[in-house]
Structure 1
Amino acid sequence: MKQEIKLDKDKTFEFSTKQIGAIIQAPTGQGKTRFLSYLILSVAKIGADVYFIDGKRADLYGLRFAFSVDEREKHVACTPNQACRLLRELVEHMNNRYEKYFSNENSAIGENYSFYKLRPIFLFFDELIATLGEDKKLGKEIESYLIQIMLKGRQAGIFAILSSQRFSAEVLSTTIRENAGMRVALGRMSKDSYKMVLGDFYDELPAAEKGIGKGYIFLDGLGWSTPRAFQTPFLDTSKINVKEVLKYYLLKGANLYETGEI
């Protein structure tokens, strides 16, 4: 199955090869949750396992009911302590994959997780600033785990999608931003907010509609010199039960990837 997500007629999130991870920023009411829901269902549809951290205990936290009671605590976090545990376990899982599949005498040079039929894993971390702001000491630990996933996750098949109403230099480290292959800014923002997400392109931004689900996108690995105008795919959450569809895709994906890996 193809490891990419269609964004519009001419843009694709090629997460396994060109755009490693993502950051998404949008003020309240500008389409962030709807876009996240589209990405969540899209990656689950291709068989990925998903993990959620929601610093405001809101929309992503509500998706815990898509998991069985036994799996909820493992897959969903909201407090800084829970976030640290979840991220620590993901990093351990990532390192175990490297040790088992990519660091032994029989490892195939240059191959990634799909070669070994490993299930891709996506971490969706919403309202990062709220989680880090609750506990600054744990915030440093959380940031260190996120940097490891952003830097090392691609080959092992572990990807992070980070989102917030507003990022800041204190929360979004340069390392994380520069290693996010997809960067999306929705709605109207200040110059500093655009620069925080998209980089130093503010004076070169093309004309683009601003509003719900509309703004800018930058996709790495395609030779783009500046971000481009973007409108998110439309997902009518009033007609789609995101929890139930996610539950269905997760079960299907678990059956597809019954490999007995670590």
Structure 2
Amino acid sequence: MNNSIQLDKDKWYEFSTKQVGVIIQAPTGQGKTRFLSYLILSAAKLGADIYFIDGKRADLFSLRFAFPENERDEHVASTPSQTCRLLRHLSEIMNSRYEEYFSTESSTTGENYSFYKLRPIFIFFDEVIATMAEDKKIGKEIESYLIQIMLKGRQAGIFAILSSQRFSAEVLSTTIRENAGMRVALGRMSKDSYRMVFGDFYDELPAAEKGIGKGYIYLDGLGWSTPRAFQTPILDTQKINVKSVLKRYLEQGAYKFGK
């Protein structure tokens, strides 16, 4: 099973080993949606089951039609209460996998979901801050589930990719940022915005071209001392029907893993 997604000629998102969890920040019109579409199709092509949360009921929410009608409510959320229910469901899947495969007498030490041929699960959560700020009480519960998944998801095969126009420490715990092994900032942003994504690395950012699909990336586990210049893969959404391609990949993944 392939456990990585190519980002450019020499960078890979190695989700099952080094870069657990992702945060992506980009102002409007700076290529976030196209990059997310690339990651979504890449993960689905590997056989992953895909879940979407879209606080603005926009691009990701429209992808609900890639699922059979009886699976849409389970796989796609937009309101805070729907988001909470979806993340609770995935947390239950994660915990049940630990109980069934990693905590028994016959468990093999050090192995992960690939060893047990479990289908990987990816959660794409766009406009995180908007969703959590809409209902602060539910937002705290959403945050608690995200922290659990970021901290415990890798071995069980559950991965979260969080994106927003701007992250905020007032709404989203820095614990989530600090446990994101892949961090991306696209387009031109303020000093505070860069600092929110990269933390202490902000003061050491190298020169990089800024623009649509261009900015910085940090990948954990590679010995990098600073983020690096980055240009996202180009996905021409005018030529590629993301919805229909995703539907085909999801069907192939379900067949491959028997669900």
Same fold (TM over 0.5): yes
Q: Give structure 2 stretches of 5+ with no counterpart.
A: none
Q: Give structure 1 stretches of 5+ with no counterpart.
A: none
Q: 2:30 aligned with 1:22, yes or no? A: no
| 1:199 CA drift (Å) | 1.3
The SS at the match of 2:23 is strand
| Partner of residue 41, structure 1 | 41
The SS at the match of 1:60 is helix
| Partner of residue 120, structure 1 | 120
Amino acid at match of 2:200: D
| 1:240 CA drift (Å) | 0.3
2: CA distance, partners of 1:170 / 1:128: 12
| Partner of residue 197, structure 1 | 197
Q: 2:210 aligned with 1:210, yes or no? A: yes
Q: Please list the CA deviations of residues 208-234 of structure 1 after superposition, one character each: whole Å capped at 9, or x if unmatched.
A: 000000000000000000000000000
Give me the CA root mean square deviation. 0.7
Identity across aligned pairs (percent)?
81
Amino acid at match of 1:132: M
The SS at the match of 1:201 is helix
Matches for 1:69-218 after TM superposition, within 5 Å: 69-218=69-218
TM-score, structure 1 length as denominator? 0.98
| Partner of residue 50, structure 2 | 50
Amino acid at match of 1:27: P
2: CA distance, partners of 1:254 / 1:171: 35
| 1:3 CA drift (Å) | 0.7
2: CA distance, partners of 1:169 / 1:238: 36
| 1:203 CA drift (Å) | 2.1
TM-score, structure 2 length as denominator? 0.99
| 1:201 CA drift (Å) | 1.9
The SS at the match of 2:162 is strand
1: CA distance, partners of 2:112 / 2:47: 16
2: CA distance, partners of 1:182 / 1:159: 12
| 1:170 CA drift (Å) | 1.2
1: CA distance, partners of 2:75 / 2:146: 16
| Partner of residue 238, structure 2 | 238
Amino acid at match of 2:28: T
2: CA distance, partners of 1:152 / 1:204: 30
Q: Please list the CA deviations of residues 52-94 of structure 1 after superposition, one character each: whole Å capped at 9, or x if unmatched.
A: 0000000000000000100000000000010010000000000
The ranges of structure 1 where at least 4 consecutive aligned residues each deviate by more than 3 angstroms after the TM superposition are none
1: CA distance, partners of 2:20 / 2:246: 23
Aligned length: 259
